[in-house]
Amino acid sequence: MTAALAPYRSAAVAAVVLRIFLGGTMLYAAVDKALLDPRFLQASGVGSIGETLNFFVTSGGPLAGIVEAVALPQPVLIGASMAFAQLLVGASLLTGSWVRLGALLGVGISLTLALTASWGVSPYYYGNDLPYLVGLLALAALGDGGVLRLGAPAQRAYSPERRAAIVSGTGVAAGIAALLLLDRSRAISAITEGGTPSPSPTSGASPTPTPSSSAPAGGTAIDGASDLADGQALNFSAGGTDAVLINDEGTYRAFERACTHQGTSVDWQAGSGDFLCSNHGARFSAEGGVTMGPANSPLRAIEVSVAADGTVTYRR
């Protein structure tokens, strides 16, 4: 068993695994921005690069001033440049051409995103840009691994190490393909519908009716709801479903906490007055509407009502 696994313990295999995963992901990110998501290369609107850059400024990361001065005046150019840079990184890593330079360009992209998009994510390990940054740094040190390089002379002699690199790379590529097929918000809609997903509702749309002044018949009281101050939120269980109740200037609204992108729990951000999904950075307004992708649909609303004595109840 040890002898059989020996060829996999090499820098060549490590380099190929990193090249296939990071290069494939960068390529997908570029195609997603340029082709699959019609909202991204727009100056404004939900899911647009313009709105994303505005969020980078308001979130107060280390690069907020630079983004405001340089990027905000020309958001579409910045978005297109980002997609093109990711395309270059993907092509470099997948073909084995100038891998160290491609990896360093990827490091720059990931570092920029870590200091903007992921800066406010806490704990830090929820941020998805740091692992890419470290992986690309490792690849910049490893190089191409000496195998699977486009245009390199064919090696006729049998090499266990080269075979192990090919097997590992194929496995990683198959994993990426499976992830793309499981990506409900992008790949599946593009494949099954033959096009791109429809733009999400504008942030001004409200999916939740204003609560009435009397409790609905059969409603269930939410413990502690009457103690919520303006701008505060309370997580509760709505018949076994993880939910959240907010007090928005005296109007109570409740939603399922599952992000409509991939189901990760969203959290109320009292400072910014919206919901944040720490998994991929989707944001939702106090009314539940999408204000930042990759989510495409508003949070699922739960009917709530306030009785004359101040008791807040929900009904499913």
Predicted confidence (pLDDT) per residue in 223-263, tens digit: 988 888 999 999 999 888 889 999 988 899 999 998 887 77
Give the residue-averaged pLDDT of 45-60. Answer: 78
User: Can you tell me the distance from the alpha carbon of 269 to that of 251, in angstroms, rounded to the nearest whole number?
Assistant: 17
DSSP string, 45-88: STT-HHHHHHHHHHTT-TTHHHIIIIITTSHHHHHHHHHHHHHH
- Reading the block at residue 3, the tokens are 């002898």
For tokens 């400024």, the residue is 57
Q: pLDDT tens digit string along 253-311?
A: 999 998 887 778 899 998 888 999 887 788 999 999 998 888 888 999 999 998 888 88
- Tell me the two tokens of residue 27: 């390529």
Prior bond to 201 cis, omega within 30? no
In this predicted structure, the answer to whether residue 194 has a pLDDT above a threshold of 70 is no
> What is the model's pTM?
0.62
Residue 236 bridge partners (DSSP): 243
Helix (H, G, I), strand (E, B) or coil at 290: strand
Domains of the chain in sequence order: 2-193 (no CATH), 220-315 (2.102.10.10)
pLDDT score at 191? 44
Whether omega before 123 lies within 30 degrees of 0, making that bond cis, reads yes
Q: What is the pLDDT of residue 281?
A: 82
Backbone torsions φ then ψ of 23, nearest 5 degrees: -65, -45
Q: Is residue 210 packed enough to be buried (19+ CB in 10 Å), middle (13-18) or exposed (0-12)?
A: exposed
Which residues touch 155 (CB under 8 Å, ≥6 apart)? 162
Burial annotation 159-175 (CB, 10 A radius, 16+ → b, else e): eebbebbeebbeebeee
Positive/negative CA dihedral, 188, 197, 290, 219: negative
Q: Which residue has the tokens 């519908």?
A: 193
